[in-house]
Amino acid sequence: MKKLFLSSIIALFIVVGILYLYIGPIHFYLANFLHSDSPLMGLLFQMKVERLLTAYCVGAILALCGVVMQNLFRNPIADPYILGVSSGAGMGVGVAMFLASFFPILSNFTVTMACAFIFAILSSFIALFFSRVNGQVILTRLLLIGMALTFFEGAFIQIIFSVNVLRNFNVFLWLMGSLDNANMNSVVVLGVTLCILIIVFTSMHRSFDLILLGPEIAHSSGVRVERVKWISLCLVSLAVALVVSYCGIIGFVGMIIPHAIRIVVGPKNLKLMIFSMILGAVFVAICDIIATTLISPSELPLGAVIGIIGAPYFILLLVHMNRGKRI
């Protein structure tokens, strides 16, 4: 069953990648490309491939970060978006843009990414600190604090952009999540980030399995729980900061994909990470196809398309959790 499922999502990964080149406002036809010397055809091919690879990297990163966050907080709703980490990174990008409008020397990607990382990791620590009671993370508090952080940071971002001279439609698309800024640089940076996350998190998969059983069991088994949490939170915050810096705020991927995969493959983290990354990549690519074709030649924000799918799933998940069920 699991081998069939793995084969199915790998096949879906390949099929979606091929369809991505043919669907959308910019079409790429393989036959035309092979028999054409036109520089425009090569440019179209490059644009489509760069956007596809960026979508795959974003989906895989967010899904993997969702798996890690759900392990650390030991509940199925924890993901960078719900806990305010994504909006915190967005707030950092907004602050960087605002400062750059007054101090042009700060107008570079390193400063933007650094601000995004600082605010993202600050949001995750705030959510973790205030949701604890007697050393245990309380689900209700975690959810409420994450929502409060998301609303506060979202309002702050809107205030910054409302007074910022850089305000325009591209900023609006970025705020709602978009792959319009996809290029070879985003592919390389996000690809390297994904490789680092895979190496670190898959090497820690046994520690995550034990943490799910409870901190006491993990401690007695030799897991340095606090060290694992700090390393994981820092890496997740850095990865989310990079995603937000390039593609804006994209939510729910880190929640719905790992939860759906867990139903099929179970709670073992190594398999869960691998399956989640593949399906997360496919999910974001499919949503981007919808975003670029539904009202073509105009484009919907990618984050809005994912939100329309993710929000109802989130509500359904909460309802079943309140009834003490698993779905």
User: In the prediction, which pLDDT does 326 show?
Assistant: 46
- The 10 Å Cβ neighbour count of residue 174 is 25
- Peptide bond preceding 297 in cis form (omega within 30 of 0): yes
Q: Which helix (H) or strand (E) holds 57?
A: helix 39-73
d(CA 238, CA 247): 14
The string of DSSP letters for 283-305 reads HHHHHHHHHHHTTTTS---HHHH
Reported pTM = 0.87
For residue 277, give the nearest of 193, 217, 216 by alpha carbon. 193
- Note whether 97 and 164 are within 8 A (CB): yes
* Phi, psi torsion values for 38, nearest 5 degrees: -70, 125
At 19, which amino acid appears? Answer: L
What is the residue-level pLDDT of the chain in tens, covering all 327 positions?
Answer: 667 877 888 899 999 998 888 776 555 555 555 555 666 666 777 888 899 999 999 999 999 999 998 888 777 777 888 778 888 998 888 888 888 878 888 778 888 888 988 998 888 888 878 877 776 667 678 778 888 888 888 888 878 777 665 555 556 666 778 898 889 999 999 999 999 999 999 999 999 999 888 878 888 888 888 889 889 988 998 899 899 988 988 888 998 999 889 888 888 899 999 999 999 999 999 999 998 888 877 788 898 899 898 888 878 877 776 665 444
User: In the prediction, which pLDDT does 19 show?
Assistant: 87
- Report whether CATH 1.10.3470.10 matches the domain 50-322: yes
* Phi, psi torsion values for 136, nearest 5 degrees: -110, 140
- For tokens 């699991």, the residue is 2
* Strand 136-137 with 132-133, pairing: antiparallel
The string of DSSP letters for 184-247 reads HHHHHHHHHHHHHHHHHHHHTHHHHHHHHH-HHHHHHTT--HHHHHHHHHHHHHHHHHHHHHHH
User: In the prediction, which pLDDT does 327 show?
Assistant: 43
* Phi, psi torsion values for 52, nearest 5 degrees: -60, -50
At 188, which amino acid appears? Answer: V
**Count of all residues that appear for the chain in the document:** 327
- Note whether 277 and 11 are within 8 A (CB): no
